[in-house]
Amino acid sequence: QVQLQESGPGLVKPSETLSLTCSVSGGSMSSSYWSWIRQTPGKGLEWIGYIYYSGSANYNPSLRSRVTISVDRSKNQFSLKVRSVTAADTAVYFCARDTGTNWFDPWGQGTLVIVSS
């Protein structure tokens, strides 16, 4: 079955860019949507955005100005970039397969990113 694994730096300085990659194994990325979701103690679970395997993306309006999600079909990976980060971007970041309009399944194990100088 499909499995997802996040990777990237666990510490990012304020005002810099957070970059994470999600590697998809056990299946093809074709004909699916792929999302990033983050979790904080204060705001809970927050959908960041998704990318379709063809490359079209959709973002949470609250984050759209700072976020880019891209896909590398040759590597079976998709990536997240969050620009101009602040402490409020400190969170556990999950990648997940997305039905597009409904639920998320499965999820990666998550990776903690701390924004601090």
Partner 1 sequence: QSVLTQPPSVSGAPGQRVTISCTGSSSNIGAGYDVHWYQQLPGTAPKLLIHGNSNRPSGVPDRFSGSKSGTSASLAITGLQAEDEADYYCQSYDNSLRVRVFGAGTKVTVL
Q: For residue 111, give every residue at least 6 positions away whose Cβ sits within 8 Å of its Cβ, in sequence order, or none.
A: 6, 7, 8, 10, 20, 92, 93
Binding flag, residue 102, partner 1 (CB under 8 A): yes
Q: What is the smallest separation between the CB atom of 110 and partner 1, expressed in angstroms?
A: 5
- Residue placing its CB nearer to partner 1 in the complex, 82 or 108: 108
Binding flag, residue 104, partner 1 (CB under 8 A): yes
- Residue placing its CB nearer to partner 1 in the complex, 34 or 94: 94
Three-state secondary structure call for residue 72? strand
Cα(first)–Cα(last) distance of the chain, in Å? 39
Q: Report residue 13: phi and psi, to 5°.
A: -80, 150
Q: What is the smallest separation between the CB atom of 108 and partner 1, expressed in angstroms?
A: 6
Work out which of 60, 68, 76, 83 binds partner 1, going by CB under 8 A. 60
Peptide bond into 9 cis (omega under 30): no
For partner 1, the binding residues (CB under 8 A) are: 44-47, 60-62, 94, 101-110
